[in-house]
């Protein structure tokens, strides 16, 4: 019998989903088996460095990242590392995890606007 095991990382500030995955305090890591959370840990954010966090979370076995927002390049790097991304999410991290497992979580608009906070990619800067 195949076991359905998932490791979810939710970017968090306190008990709430962080608006920007790279600048969060830590990641709430939920281990889920057959739609049941059997473990929750907090993983400190090692620091925001372009391209580092997708690899860091992949090294920790994460298969899904949930956050308020992130830029398109970060989403691309997560995908390259076999990690799905769900952005535009807010609320208490424990409730968000439960809602995701129950199929009640829908992506929204990213709360992270890289054009506004000075960390646009060089490619984007050239195209503007």
Q: What is the pLDDT of residues 70-117, one digit of tens each?
A: 989 999 999 999 999 999 999 999 999 999 999 999 888 766 554 433
- Read off the pLDDT of each residue in 35-53 and give the average, rounded to a whole number: 92
Q: Which residues pair with 37 in a beta bridge?
A: 32
Spatial CB neighbours of 2, under 8 Å, sequence gap ≥ 6 = none
| Residue 125 reports pLDDT greater than 90 | no
Q: Which domains does the chain have, with CATH numbers?
A: 5-127 (3.30.420.130)
Give whole-number Cα distances, 4 to 25, 34, 36, 74, 101, in Å: 29, 5, 10, 26, 12
- Read off the pLDDT of each residue in 13-25 and give the average, rounded to a whole number: 94
pTM over 0.75: yes
| Residue 53 reports pLDDT greater than 70 | yes
Spatial CB neighbours of 23, under 8 Å, sequence gap ≥ 6 = 45, 48
pLDDT at residue 111, rounded to an integer: 61
């Amino acid at each position: 019998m195949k076991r359905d095991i998932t490791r979810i990382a939710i970017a968090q500030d306190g008990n709430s989903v962080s608006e920007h995955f790279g600048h969060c305090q830590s990641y709430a890591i939920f281990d889920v088996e057959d739609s049941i959370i059997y473990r929750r840990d907090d993983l400190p954010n090692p620091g925001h460095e372009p391209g580092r966090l997708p690899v860091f979370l992949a090294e920790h076995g994460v298969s899904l990242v949930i956050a308020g927002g992130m830029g398109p390049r970060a989403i691309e790097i997560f995908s390259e590392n076999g990690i799905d991304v769900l952005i535009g999410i807010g609320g208490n991290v424990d409730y968000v995890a439960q809602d995701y497992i129950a199929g009640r979580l829908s992506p929204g608009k990213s709360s992270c606007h890289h054009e506004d906070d000075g960390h646009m990619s060089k490619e984007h800067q050239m195209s503007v």
